[in-house]
Chains A and B, each alone.
Chain A
Amino acid sequence: DSGVTQTPKHLITATGQRVTLRCSPRSGDLSVYWYQQSLDQGLQFLIQYYNGEERAKGNILERFSAQQFPDLHSELNLSSLELGDSALYFCASSGSNSPLHFGNGTRLTVT
């Protein structure tokens, strides 16, 4: 168990809808990262937060947004969903200069 908690585990929704994925980092970790992994693809970096502030942005679509709250949990919002957004979405957390520890992911299926 990495200590990173993601909910929900599975999400099935229709095109055009909006969903929110939630992540609770390991105790003491200030950094939260979001990654997208499509079927048989590598991990694509979306966005990073540190202590509530956006730190780095990757290939995140404008339809996607995220935030980190004062209690350090984070949410990833995906809107106007398309079939191609179906993927595993991983959250990871870390301390300063330490390895990233990943949650078990949310599997999103858009139908």
Chain B
Amino acid sequence: GQNIDQPTEMTATEGAIVQINCTYQTSGFNGLFWYQQHAGEAPTFLSYNVLDGLEEKGRFSSFLSRSKGYSYLLLKELQMKDSASYLCARRAAGNKLTFGGGTRVLVKP
């Protein structure tokens, strides 16, 4: 299967850092995506990892370990607008993406 596991919900304080973990099946793996989705809106692309290591993009960073089937998304200097669901997605051959259930992040003042 292509089980993708991520926590259901996380709460953090404005200005803090939150790390969202994602584990996935390694067979047939061809890349790992992170998307942000506000309630009722379209998912928007945040980051993409295909090689091991950390990719930094402003306040957001994403890490991948292919051998461990593990990724995380790091959100720094949290802002209220970062309250959203964060979706981990595994890519297989043919650019087919399978999404995890999403992690709902609530940022409190």
- Where the two chains meet, the residues of A that have a C-beta atom closer than 8 Å to any C-beta of B are 2, 31, 33, 35, 41-43, 45, 48, 50, 55-56, 88, 90, 94, 96-105, 107
Contacts and interface: CB of A to CB of B under 8 A. Distances in A.
A104 B37 CA distance: 11
Contacts of B33: 99-100
A42 B94 contact: no
Given A97-B31, A97-B95, A100-B33, 6 more contacts: A42-B99, A42-B101, A48-B95, A94-B95, A105-B41, A107-B40
Interface string B86-102: 01000000111111111
Nearest to B33: A99
Interface of B: 31, 33, 40-45, 48, 87, 94-102
B45 A99 contact: yes
A31 B98 CA distance: 15
Contact of B97 (A41, A100, A105, A107): A100
Given A99-B33, A99-B48, A45 B98 contact: yes
Contact of A45 (B31, B43, B97, B100): B97
A88 B37 CA distance: 13
Given A43-B99, A45-B98, A94-B95, A102 B43 contact: yes
Given A42-B87, A100-B45, A48 B40 contact: no
A50 to B, nearest CB: 8
A14 B59 CA distance: 45
16 contacts: A2-B44, A42-B87, A42-B101, A45-B98, A48-B94, A55-B96, A56-B96, A94-B95, A98-B95, A99-B33, A102-B43, A102-B44, A103-B42, A104-B42, A105-B42, A107-B40
B99 to A, nearest CB: 4
